[in-house]
Amino acid sequence: MGYGQGVIFCIPVTPDGQVGPGWGRASRVALADLSTPVQVDRWEVHQVDWDIAHDQGTHGSHHARIVRFLRDNQVGCVVAEHMGPGMRQVLQAMRLPVVIGAAGDAHDAVLLAAALLTDEGLFSGPEESASLTRSSSSEQSASLTRSSSSEQSADLTRAVVVGGLIVDMDGTLVDSHAVVRQVWSSWANSQGLDPAEVVSYSTGRRPEATLKHFAPDDPDPQSTTARLEEQEVSLTEPITEVPGARALLTSLMAEDEPESPERPVVALVTSATRRLAQVRMEAARVPFPQVAVCGEDVPQGKPAPDGYLAAAGALGVPITDCLVLEDAPAGVAGALAAGAKLIVVGGEAGQPDHPNQLAAVQDLTGIRARRLPDGRIELTYPAVRT
């Protein structure tokens, strides 16, 4: 049972209590004692300096050092952001459950891992003495696979393999909410309208749609739209990337350059004009995809599915083989209407009962992507809402 009365979880931690990067190169780990899956009874941080020891001696001696620590402290489960295959095999041989994909606050990550173990029947309920059930299958106890589908892995992450990734801009890649609120609130006040209502409606929609909704009698909507866009273009502060956006797109766009023989796998779909989209993406230092469907490129904007269908066509894959990242209700509705798979970004619930909505995440830090040898892409994402 370890130093307390429950199951001991081991997780890399940073000095500020976040999940530390990696496992075998962790400098600090925490031991969390849980007598039930819903409460950490005791928390101890150990300075292990595995990052220094990793390059001293052989891999075998380093693995032995980690195994000794785990056994000395009677660890019942390891939680980490990621882990190399060699270390995974070592822990599998120990029949030690490993939960991969942890991120954010380390305390919370341990509780999420405990919840997952409970779902798998590997952590007893609160009415029983805490224990980890050892499965006769060492593969199950090590990887906690929840689905036999080759497109889904377990731990704290899921995975999906698709032919293309379609991403929204405002609220998904770029945090421009302050600018949008400033411009549309000013216009709403000038019209005697409720700024909050106008800003909420405008999210994810083309400006002409917002004008038509709130000011159908505007004598010159084109001039009003142009004036509003000029204001938005001129305001580049505070515009920042949504956390994780730059890394995610960069990981997939390295081979998307025009001279590359590889086909593009990322497309941008935004209600903004191309001019405004380029300004905002540059301000946030997020790479601009080779394929982009902007507000002026389709007859109907979100929530119509036109933009997503056009993006899938430009990528050369069926929309049903695409994953969309979206934040706004209008974009969510359009993506699902098009037939795409969906992950909702930014804290909105989206349509959680829809079979094509895979997850809802706060930002993009928990999403990883890699291009497979056949040209498709594999994306991993948090299995629980973050």
Active site (catalytic) residues: 168, 170
Six token digits for residue 143: 């990887």
Question: What residues have CB less than 8 Å from 325, skipping those under 6 apart?
Answer: 165, 166, 167, 168, 172, 342, 343, 345, 364, 367
Contacts by 253-257 with C-beta closer than 8 Å and gap 24+? Answer: 253/287, 253/289, 253/290, 255/371, 256/289, 256/290, 257/290
CA distances from 264 to 232, 259, 311 (A): 29, 11, 11
Question: How many Cβ atoms from other residues are within 10 Å of residue 127's Cβ?
Answer: 6
- 291 forms beta bridges with 267
Nearest Cα to Cα of residue 113 among 127, 132, 128? 132
Helix, strand, or coil (residue 30): strand
C-alpha 42/C-alpha 357 separation (Å) is 37
CA distances from 224 to 58, 117, 208, 300 (A): 68, 56, 9, 19
Helix, strand, or coil (residue 83): coil
Helix, strand, or coil (residue 12): strand
C-alpha 314/C-alpha 162 separation (Å) is 15
